[in-house]
């Protein structure tokens, strides 16, 4: 499948549903151009949010050091369109644990008992995916959050199951670093089983 056909299939599945109609043609072109080079992305704004409103920064170090809630807030408008209301989001890093409080509900990111040396970045990235996916599931959305890349270059992307399957089509030849992965792919040692 060529890049243009793949992007048009993604668009038919709703890939650009968060994009204002006046920007669809330009972003479609960006997606085709990047897919021809082995990855799928559109230009980022100053916060590193993609123009298609599906890709977000998820730097593992930032997430682990108490900024997971801030990452969640970057997705607020899109999550709201999916039925997720974020009335309040608060990062609560402490000496022996880190939690994020979403709408008054505490979500453990990690504590002294769950951490192993060197895996806080991966654990925090996995928890971001799990928390967002739980919120989306509770709202009845078909969208889910997947990881791409990792570590200091970490990013996440919102996709439906059909979009995820399309991006895993062998004919697309996506670079393995840009291949979306679910939370379960993140191992305890911080590596990703692609």
74, 57 Cβ separation under 8 angstroms? yes
What are the residue ranges of helices labelled H in the chain?
Answer: 3-12, 24-36, 60-62, 68-74, 76-81, 120-139, 161-167
What is the predicted pLDDT for the residue at 58? 92
Q: Which two tokens stand for residue 184?
A: 């379960």
Domain boundaries, the chain: 3-185
Q: Is the pLDDT of residue 41 over 90?
A: yes
Q: Is the pLDDT of residue 117 over 70?
A: no
* Cα 63 to Cα 176: distance, rounded to the nearest angstrom: 23
When pLDDT is cut at 50, 70 and 90, the band that residue 128 belongs to is: very high
Q: How far is CA 165 from the centre of its chain?
A: 16
72, 59 Cβ separation under 8 angstroms? no
* Cα 4 to Cα 56: distance, rounded to the nearest angstrom: 23
Strand partners, 93: 98
68, 91 Cβ separation under 8 angstroms? yes
* Cα 56 to Cα 148: distance, rounded to the nearest angstrom: 10
Q: Which of 45-49, 85-89, 91-95, 105-109 has the lowest mean pLDDT?
A: 91-95
Strand partners, 44: 50
Alpha-carbon distance values, 148 to 33, 78, 92, 103 (Å): 18, 18, 26, 27
Strand partners, 56: 156
What is the predicted pLDDT for the residue at 118? 63
């Amino acid at each position: 499948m060529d890049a243009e056909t793949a992007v048009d299939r993604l668009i038919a599945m709703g890939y650009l549903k968060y994009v204002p109609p006046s920007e669809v043609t330009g972003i479609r072109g960006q997606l085709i151009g990047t897919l021809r080079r082995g990855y799928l992305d559109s230009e980022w704004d100053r916060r590193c949010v993609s123009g298609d409103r599906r890709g977000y920064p998820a730097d593992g170090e930032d997430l682990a050091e108490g900024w997971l809630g801030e990452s969640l807030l970057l997705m607020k408008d899109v999550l709201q369109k999916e039925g997720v209301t974020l009335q309040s989001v608060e990062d609560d890093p402490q000496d022996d644990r880190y939690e994020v409080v979403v709408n008054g509900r505490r979500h453990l990111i990690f504590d002294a008992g769950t951490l192993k040396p060197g895996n806080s970045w991966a654990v925090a990235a996995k928890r971001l995916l799990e928390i967002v996916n739980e919120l989306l599931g509770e709202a009845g959305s078909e969208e889910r959050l997947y990881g791409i890349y990792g570590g200091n270059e970490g990013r996440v992307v919102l996709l439906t199951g059909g979009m995820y399957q399309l991006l895993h089509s062998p004919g697309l030849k996506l670079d393995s670093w840009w291949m979306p992965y679910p939370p379960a792919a993140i191992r305890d040692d911080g590596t990703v089983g692609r």
